[in-house]
Structure 1
Amino acid sequence: MANDVFDFTPGAQVPLMGAAGQTAATHALASAAYRDSELKEILKANSEWHKSEVKPGRISLFEPNLGEAFSRAVQVRMLGGARKALIQSFGTEPQSVVEHCLAANRLRRERDSRLTAVMAVCGLLFLPGLLLWLGVFQLRRTLAGSQNRGAGALGSLLLAAIGILAVIFLVRLPFGGFWAYYIRAMLVAPILGWYLAKRICESSAQDMRARWDALLSGGGIGAKVPEAVPGNPGDAAREQLRQGLEKLTAEQQSNVVFYAGPKGILGMGTRWGSWQMAEELVSQDPAKEINQFRSWDVIRAIHDKLKLLERGPLNSGGFPPPSVKHWIVSPVGENAGAVARPEGQEVETFQIKGHEIQRICNHQQFGSGNRHYLGVQFTLWDGQLVITMMITVTVLHETLRVEVTGHALGPVHSLFTTKPEPKTVTVSKTVRFWETVDRVLPLVDAKEVVRLAVRAPFTWYPPLLDYLGGKLVLPEPFGLRHAWAEKPWRHRFMADDAMRAAAPVLRVAHTAALKVLEDNGVDTSKFGNRATVVSGFVQDPTPGKADVYDA
């Protein structure tokens, strides 16, 4: 397969057009790798079409938090050896997000190595005491998770009772000798280990939160992924990871997208508007036939005109430089669980070759098969808004149709843009008790220390942690950007930008098409009238659901 045998060695590094200025959405998604909130929080970011799921585990004490589950799920889904095809993440740099997930996992492994050493010394050598304390914490966690508040209070009371019994055993035992000292140490050693583990976890939590905050503040430390740099020619694991990252970037640049019915073009958003100009091809001179031309001739003329969109008669800012690209659109089912990228001689590194694009444009206009669209894309608001106008030209019998459709992908969900807040509690002052003050609490509480310490020895085999504690199931077909995107219509300026882009693109497409028709001896009077009518329709300020046919 062409996509698999290619060596994704980067060679000379050339900045990709459109990559600059897309940091807001990228950093928002990357910040999820460092978060310490509950995993179920990510369910709030589910959209109408794309829903993540949380697969529960067997033991609640092994449950991952949001950052752990997100990093693990994204790394496996986007770099796994047998992974499915990915949907492009327009407006973001998916490789940067994945690198932050790898960096976050590396930081957690370093923390877990220290926690494992503590568990071995203070836990494994005194295993009966460790199991006793873990049983108490698990029972308390189970009761605290109950809907009954009394059950949660009972869990705390039970933990206190076990602590009192432990103190009694330390003071007086019914027997002496070695086992008396061992039993006392068995009850004390896990507590000492918990104290050491708490210091390790608190330091790690502060580092993670600092990276989380820095990413959302517009800066942040770049993700360091030393495991993706081969140390020698025989370093197969690092070489495989490096090629996985390069393959991810290559797939992001693919010119094939997928149309999933009412879900719209995956990665570009649903179609909110559609405008069509269709008229009969009639010769200017009844005594002569029109010159032979193809759909590609019209598309090429529109392409050249769209490249000049940033230029205008007035110095008013206007459009930024657009990305104009030929797209091959492949149809998939509305509820398809996966997509398949084209393969064969006409495909090279996920790109359909130029001559095949022309063939599809000229000949695949009716019936089954892929279709050709010319797209002009604007990435605005630091990658939070992606506006795509798609243009297709078809000729059936004596009728030429120029269709322009609008797609808009909104900002990532607000869950990903929330900054970390310190954990505080409001307490009364000691003397002036009628006044209150906010006291900052440690980032890691007792039950979180226990959870991290219990998970640490199993870090070497993540699938076991997934089995015991559960995992995050990503929506399919998966793409980082569209999986957690909101609709842009709730944001006034974003909605304005999307609708304002339609009229100029529509008129450029019509003007270029009419010029080609005139040059080839076509009577454009009807086309001109139709273009005027359609130009009036585009003034409608209300976006609709053009992909949902009311039939």
Structure 2
Amino acid sequence: MTVGTGYESVFGPQVPRSGDESQTATFALASAAYRDNPVEDITKANGEWHETTVKEGQRWTGGLFKPNLGEAFSRAVIERMIGPGRKPLIQSFGTEPQVVVDHCLAAYRLRRERDKRLSAVMVLCGVLFLPGLLVWLLVFTIRTTIDKNPNKKASALATALLVGVGALAVLFLVKMPFTGFWGWYARACVVLPVVGWFWAKQICDRSTRDLRGRWDGLIAGSSVGAQVPEAVPSSPGETQAEQLRQSLARLSTEQQSNSVFYAGPKGILGMGTRWASWQLAEDLTPADPDREIHPFRSWDVIRAIHKQLGMLERNTINTGGFPKASIRHWIVTPIGENAKAVARTEQSTDIEAFQHRAHSIQDICNKQQFGSGDRHYLGVQWTLWDGQLIITMMITVTVLHQTLRIEVTGHALGPVNPLFMGKPEDPTRNVQRSFRPWETRTVKLPLVPTNEVVRLAVRAPLSWYPPLLNWLGGTIVLPEPFGLRHVWADKPWRHRFMADDAMRAATPVLRVVHAAAIKVLEDNGVDTEKFGNRSAFLSTAVQDPSPRKADLYDA
């Protein structure tokens, strides 16, 4: 089945939750599945809290089985996101993770089709003439090892080695020491692997142009389709396709979970670190000394705040203002700063399809305000800059003894790392002009170099069993707890307008929260003078333009 846009899948069209905001970030991450950069480039996207590492393969292979970035990324994401027995995932706010997985599956399928053709070439021109294949592979391995040296003399030596072996091969054909059948077989062992290389190069060129076209289309924002026919069962007996379909459905369901995890200085996973916090805490005293306060609960205050936050997009002056925000009740679970996994419940008396039921949310809001256990937060979230900026303001209300505390915290998740934003470039090299050495000219290099053709051809027969390829050539080790968006996000504070948007959102939210809470207190007979004074002070403090690492306590 062909996917028409980035928001369609094997299950039909998926309408983005907040307009069309998450295309750029989603497509940037999806483009990594089609890239042919060196696999080590993924480490350039490491942030302050999350590091992706590259697991090296067997050294004796000489790098012949080493994957490139697209091959390793797509396999790692597929196994982590929809693999059997996978660990729970962190929500990818501002992106559509199923779209990214669909493109990883599509890229993997395109490479498998290429590898089937290359496997046929290897059998016909390589395995049947194994002695010659092994000699040529040894030459290419030595050449690749020498060519890794940055010294220009070493590169020239590598080229000279290949030319020298070619000359010896021609001499061997002319002065053949064998006669009869073995003579012709020896000639074939010399010639057929070279013919196979030319044949394989044509296959690799077509495949690389196709993959690069998809990569370029995603970065340009065009609707590149992700074809995943293997996820659509055509008959009841296709258990593998049905399992894949269920895995993708579970991925989408888990993305909608209202449970998040607070990992200490790393902040709320998926939402970013806490950059500011404002707290209003005053005693609950009756407005009329002769009357007691009318009983109320934290949930009553939260419900009033929720209602008023829905009016944020309304403007007194027609200046554009806030886009429609996502306002949700979140259950926040604390985990260790260096925790390698999180725990989610899919179904229980309090949870349905990874979502806490309404009665569970209300109970946690009213009762779990001190000591161990989960906590309740009301979140208002904006997805801006085409999914490149996620602004989340979290509100919690607690009542201990006679003190009511309203806490508003700001979280911001920055843009996808620039590594994922680069477009494909044709390989070129600057060389000196023949008669004017003080000038240089740009020379186009082959799209698929010689060593790359050899690598793809050697990997092809083993591509049906990825674990063996991972052991021989290495793979990407994704950081845990894993979520597609937050592990490769940059800080928003380096982008002037993104930083402005994050800080501008704080003041209106804070004032709406305080106004709604004070109205509830007044309706229940509480003296709100101190609350009003404290709210006015915080309205001044919130205009401080300096974001801080609010989760790093100097203690």
The root-mean-square deviation of aligned C-alpha atoms, in Å, is 1.8
Q: 2:406: which partner in 1?
A: 402
Matched, 1:310 2:313: yes
Q: Is the 8 A contact 1:19 1:93 kept in 2?
A: no
Matched, 1:337 2:337: no
Amino acid at match of 1:410: G
Q: CA deviation at 1:103?
A: 0.3
Matched length: 543
Further displaced range: 483-492 or 172-181: 172-181
**SS, match of residue 192 in structure 2:** helix
The structure 1 residue matched to 2:386, chosen from 370, 374, 382, is: 382
The structure 2 residue matched to 1:539, chosen from 533, 538, 543, is: 543
Matched, 1:94 2:94: no
Q: 2:29: which partner in 1?
A: 29
**SS, match of residue 376 in structure 1:** strand
Give TM-score, length-normalised by structure 1. Answer: 0.96
Unaligned runs of 5+ in 2: 1-8
Give TM-score, length-normalised by structure 2. Answer: 0.95
The structure 2 residue matched to 1:438, chosen from 442, 456, 470, is: 442
**SS, match of residue 212 in structure 2:** helix
Distance 2:124 2:552 in 1: 62
Distance 2:231 2:239 in 1: 10
Matched, 1:182 2:189: no
Q: Is the 8 A contact 2:331 2:361 kept in 1?
A: yes
The structure 1 residue matched to 2:453, chosen from 449, 454, 469, is: 449
Amino acid at match of 2:318: N
Q: Map 1:214-229 to 2 at 5 A.
A: 214-229=217-232
The structure 2 residue matched to 1:129, chosen from 129, 132, 140, is: 132
Unaligned runs of 5+ in 1: 1-8
Q: 2:4: which partner in 1?
A: none
Q: 1:460: which partner in 2?
A: 464
Q: CA deviation at 1:312?
A: 1.6
The structure 2 residue matched to 1:350, chosen from 350, 354, 367, is: 354
Matched, 1:326 2:325: no
Distance 2:50 2:432 in 1: 46
Amino acid at match of 1:479: G
Distance 2:385 2:208 in 1: 31
Percent sequence identity is 65
Q: Map 1:122-521 to 2 at 5 A.
A: 122-146=125-149, 152-342=155-345, 344-427=348-431, 437-521=441-525
Q: CA deviation at 1:525?
A: 0.2
Q: Is the 8 A contact 1:264 1:271 kept in 2?
A: yes
Q: CA deviation at 1:155?
A: 3.6
Distance 1:481 1:127 in 2: 46
Distance 2:10 2:173 in 1: 64
Distance 1:316 1:115 in 2: 59
Distance 2:116 2:188 in 1: 24
Amino acid at match of 1:93: E
Further displaced range: 143-152 or 19-28: 143-152
* Cα 1:148–1:424 shift into 2, 3 Å: closer
Distance 2:436 2:52 in 1: 49
Amino acid at match of 2:427: K
Q: For each residue in 1:432-470, what CA deviation from the matched residue of structure 2 results, as whole angstroms up to 9, or x when unmatched?
A: 988654332221000000000000000110111000000
* Cα 1:189–1:14 shift into 2, 3 Å: closer
* Cα 1:41–1:10 shift into 2, 3 Å: closer
* Cα 1:135–1:14 shift into 2, 3 Å: closer
Q: 1:3: which partner in 2?
A: none
Q: CA deviation at 1:143?
A: 2.9
Further displaced range: 487-496 or 219-228: 219-228
Amino acid at match of 2:263: A
Further displaced range: 269-278 or 132-141: 132-141
**SS, match of residue 62 in structure 1:** coil
Distance 2:167 2:10 in 1: 63
Q: Is the 8 A contact 2:10 2:228 kept in 1?
A: no
Q: CA deviation at 1:532?
A: 0.7
Amino acid at match of 1:190: P
Further displaced range: 24-33 or 430-439: 430-439
* Cα 1:46–1:159 shift into 2, 3 Å: same
Q: CA deviation at 1:226?
A: 0.4
Q: CA deviation at 1:422?
A: 1.2
Amino acid at match of 1:331: P
* Cα 1:144–1:424 shift into 2, 3 Å: closer
Q: For each residue in 1:498-549, what CA deviation from the matched residue of structure 2 results, as whole angstroms up to 9, or x when unmatched?
A: 0000000000000000000000000000000010111111010000000000
Q: Is the 8 A contact 2:507 2:543 kept in 1?
A: yes
**SS, match of residue 61 in structure 1:** coil
* Cα 1:183–1:370 shift into 2, 3 Å: same
Amino acid at match of 1:465: L
Distance 2:355 2:433 in 1: 67
Q: CA deviation at 1:141?
A: 1.9
